[in-house]
Amino acid sequence: MKTTINDVAELAGVSIKTVSRVMNNEPGVRQATVEKVKTAAKQLNYQPNQSARSLAGNKAYMIGLVYDNPNAYYVIDMQNGILQACKKNNFELLIHPVNIESSDSLAELAQMLKHSRISGLILTPPLSEMQSVIEMIKASGIKLVNVLSGQKKSQSNDIPSVLVDDKTAAYHITEHLIKRGHQSIAFFSGDHAHQSSQQRLAGYKEALSAYRIPLNPAWIFDGKYSFESGVESCKRMLKMAGKPTAVFACNDEIAAGALFAARLNDLDVPNDLAIAGFEDNPFSRQTWPKLTTAAQPTKAIASEAAELLFKSFKTKPEEKAECIVFEPRLVVRQST
């Protein structure tokens, strides 16, 4: 027979109400009692019925992840990080992809919010950077946490946020290339719809300026966060006279594409052309040579975003929104 809340209460020697309060992470329960209930629940392999909890308390024990991102590794890591926090807090996760290039994307998102009965939502770029999306969610009364590219000093809104300091990490990547002797460094951009592209470009420019290296606009290549974009940008660059000796690509897929194009043109990496990426996803470790990159802890970012969301369920409206900052760290490998 399936274990019930009554079984947990009996084994722990507490009331059913106390078990419910512990399962719902409600404040005011002594730590010793919490441990006793959790030990009993684990021993009996008890899993709360989320639907029953929602109906009983008129509250949905489910949060949502909304994203528009072509990077499968990023999406999977986001899901796993959020699920880890959901399991800890006895919540379920609803995953909803959105195509922002679709004319009815806002209407589709509004329908999802209306019918899903979620308690809160985690938004990732570029949706978290779109004011129209944010205003619609706020108007629905659903709690929200944004995952954004930026620095804490620039964060002034009233929404809990997890910031990724792409600018500082991009500065360190560019600085690394400069210290390896490179004076002509190309920048392969990702999608302009993502603020991360702009922040990484800003870090690249700042490093060049700090080391008094003139910025050559011709060495900045527009593109997308894809392998194919890296291939195309590299092909265009290799046709230039006085071509750069190094490439800073906006993510690892772009960098892997650039590496592929370089090898097709019989270039030795890193001796003829040094290449660095960003994010430290599996692309950076599956190429040869392996890619220098900035390690972005996506699982940890996702887990922190979920924990912020759970915390927001208990905070008062007048309390200041919390903001957590992650700075991706430089990982030097053979490609530079």
Q: What are 90-137's pLDDT values in tens digits? A: 899 999 888 888 878 888 888 888 877 788 999 999 999 988 889 988
Domain count, the chain: 3
Cα 188 from Cα 232, distance rounded (Å): 10
pLDDT score recorded for residue 183: 96
Looking at residues 276-294, what average pLDDT do you find?
95
Q: Tell me the DSSP string of 190-204.
A: --TTSHHHHHHHHHH
Q: Is 209 exposed, middle or buried (0-12, 13-18, 19+ CB in 10 A)?
A: exposed
Backbone phi, psi, residue 213, to 5°: -105, 125
pTM of the model: 0.81
| pLDDT per position as a tens digit, 132-152 | 889 988 888 899 999 999 887
Q: Based on the domain organization, do 270 and 170 belong to the same domain?
A: yes
- Both 306 and 288 in one domain: the answer is no
What was the pLDDT predicted at 45?
83
Q: Is residue 185 part of a domain?
A: yes
Report the CATH number at residue 37.
Answer: 1.10.260.40
**pLDDT-derived band of residue 206, with 50, 70 and 90 as boundaries?**
very high
- Beta strand 293-295 pairing with 329-331: antiparallel
Give the pLDDT of residue 47.
Answer: 72
In this predicted structure, what is the pLDDT of residue 55?
Answer: 41
Say if residue 288 is in the same domain as residue 189: yes
Task: Please give the residue that has the higher pLDDT: either 73 or 1.
Answer: 73
- Round the average pLDDT of the chain to a whole number and report it: 89
Indicate whether 262 pLDDT > 90: yes
> Would you say residue 332 lies in a domain?
no
The better pLDDT of the pair 195, 102 is held by 195
Q: Output the CA–CA distances (angstroms, integers) from residue 312 to 120, 187, 208, 237, 254, in the order listed.
A: 9, 39, 41, 48, 37
Q: For residue 58, name the pLDDT band (cuts at 50, 70, 90).
A: very low
More confident residue, 268 or 72: 268
Position 54 scores a pLDDT of 46
Structural domain boundaries enclosing 94 = 57-164+298-327
Residue 221 belongs to domain with CATH number: 3.40.50.2300
**Do 126 and 94 fall into the same domain?**
yes
Rounded Cα–Cα distance for residues 201 and 160 (Å): 26
Confidence (pLDDT) at 9: 86
Residues of the chain with pLDDT > 70, as a percent, come to: 93
What pLDDT was estimated at residue 49? 60
56 pLDDT above the threshold of 50:
no
Per-residue pLDDT tens over the stretch 297-332: 999 999 999 999 999 988 777 778 889 999 999 999
Res. 192: pLDDT tops 60:
yes
Closest CA to 252 of 285, 297, 296, 283: 283
* For range 151-169, the mean pLDDT: 83
Whether residue 191 is found in the same domain as residue 284:
yes
The average pLDDT across 27-31 equals: 80
Whether 335 is covered by a domain: the verdict is: no
Higher pLDDT, 288 or 51: 288
pLDDT for 264: 96
Residue that wins the pLDDT comparison between 320 and 212: 212
Residues 289 and 309 in one domain: no
Q: Is the pLDDT of residue 85 over 70?
A: yes
Q: Mean pLDDT over residues 2-6, rounded?
A: 79
**294 phi and psi, to 5 degrees?**
-115, 120
